[in-house]
Amino acid sequence: MKKFLVLFALFLSITSVLAAEEFTSPDEVVLDSESFIQEDLKELGIATEESNKTSDNKTLREKLSDIYYSEVEQIDVRHHMLQDILTKKFSENSPLEKIHWWGGYNGDWSMRFQDDGSVRNHYEFNALCTGFDGDLKNDAADFRIMFNFSPLKGKNMVRYLPGDVYFGTNKIPHHRIQIGNQRPGVGMEGKSSAFLLPLFARSQISRNYSSVRKLGARVIGDYSLLEYDFGLYSSDTYFKQFFPGIEFDGWVNVKPLGKTDGRYGEMRIGGGLQSGHRHGDYNVFGAYAEYKYKKFSASFEYANADGSNGLVMQSPDIHSSGFYTTLGYRITPKLQAIIRYDQFNPNHKIKNNNRRETTLGLNYFIKGQGLRLIFNYVFCQNDAAKDSHRLMLGTQILL
């Protein structure tokens, strides 16, 4: 069964790419501070000739065998299946410690059913990226160079090709400083990696106010009871203009259960502000709450915008707002059920203008986030248009 699921996921990905005819806006990747799953020590600590082998001494066949038989249960971090194979380590004389080449893919077949009886089938690249992550010696700094190959319909692909291109350091305790082209911290889901999203699409507030990259610098702090992300950026997106204005993005979360060692779960409560100038002033206020306990997770996010500067909405004079709530449950270590309610009003000056999306999702984690099968059903209600239903089936691969 396991072999069948692995082959099915790979087959679905390859055939989808070959048959793709239409593309939509991508959700791209952003670097996360994360530790990847390591193999457990042999039971009772008994060393064997096989267990004494280091990763560097293993043959390619042995490494591939380890990947095939490994079990990955964490889903809150990105797991690159071929990280060990695609990582280059450097000599002591080099300033570089290592470089990891990686690739990521997330896509789906979609069928949309309108209430008038019409049916539309199409394929979407949600993410198609490749890049290099590098570490300097003595944990002095790290960098990422990422390219996004997900075509944007009606956009110049070359302009959108550079994704994350930045340099960062964690030398200051509890802090990270990051400089370069990156996804600003506008909302919690808006700044998350596309490869960690529970559903194919981001929420409406995230894909309208966020889902862009900008040049700038940020400071990220992380303590047991508090975390924050403050940054200054150019208000330009995807190199369209040279510094049309400055943008501030700030977000603060408190973690009330941060000193309980997870006995009562994990909780975050916070909010933030995006404020800047581009063809006029814009301000986006947000609030967030999240709770996780064992197999259960719940999150809620709200945003109110007086103008915005995201991928979809870039206007200084439109008042809009929205919210979403998401519930998740791990039925088994590999199977997760998701339900989300999402509402958005793109312009408060227009009456009866709400857009609602109710989504049911299933995730099957073959190798954590490294190899995942995804199914979504979305019921779309629009006060100004006909209702529709959407079925999506796809997969995610991280190398």
State how far the alpha carbon of 174 is from the alpha carbons of 32, 169, 358, in Å: 15, 11, 38
pTM, rounded to two decimals: 0.84
Q: What residues contact 137, with CB distance under 8 A and at least 6 apart?
A: 94, 95, 96, 97
Per the document, the length of the chain is 399
Distances (CA, A) of 275 to 229, 281, 300, 390: 14, 8, 22, 35
Q: What gap in Å lies between CA 250 and CA 187, rounded to an integer?
A: 9
List CB contacts of 23: < 8 A, sequence separation 6 or more: 123, 124, 125, 150, 151, 152, 153
- Amino acid 384: pLDDT: 85
Of 150, 192, 218, whose CA–CA distance to 31 is shortest?
192
Q: What is residue 206's DSSP assignment?
A: H
Helix (H) or strand (E) holding 191: none
- How does pLDDT run across 358-379, given as a tens digit for each residue? 999 999 999 999 999 999 999 9
State the residue range of the domain holding 346: 2-398
Lowest mean pLDDT segment, chosen from 20-24, 105-109, 221-225, 305-309: 20-24
What are the distances in angstroms from CA 99 to CA 74, 83, 96, 316, 333? 23, 10, 8, 41, 31
* Unique residue bearing structure tokens 């060990």: 84
User: Which residue is listed with tokens 């082959």?
Assistant: 7
Kindly report, residue by residue over 257-292, the tens digit of the pLDDT.
999 999 999 999 999 999 999 989 999 999 999 999
Do the strands 246-254 and 266-277 form a parallel or antiparallel pair, or are they unpaired?
antiparallel
Tell me the residue type at 10: L
Q: Is 33 helix (H, G, I), strand (E, B) or coil?
A: coil
The gap from C-alpha 254 to its chain's centroid, in whole angstroms, comes to 22
Domain count, the chain: 1
Specify the CATH number for the domain of residue 182: 2.40.160.10
Q: For 147-173, write each residue's pLDDT tens digit.
A: 998 766 666 677 788 899 999 999 999
Strands 142-148 and 87-89: unpaired
- Identify the top-confidence range among 51-55, 72-76, 160-164: 72-76
Does residue 31 have a pLDDT over 80? Answer: no
Give rounded-to-5 percent helix, strand, coil for the chain.
Answer: 15, 50, 40
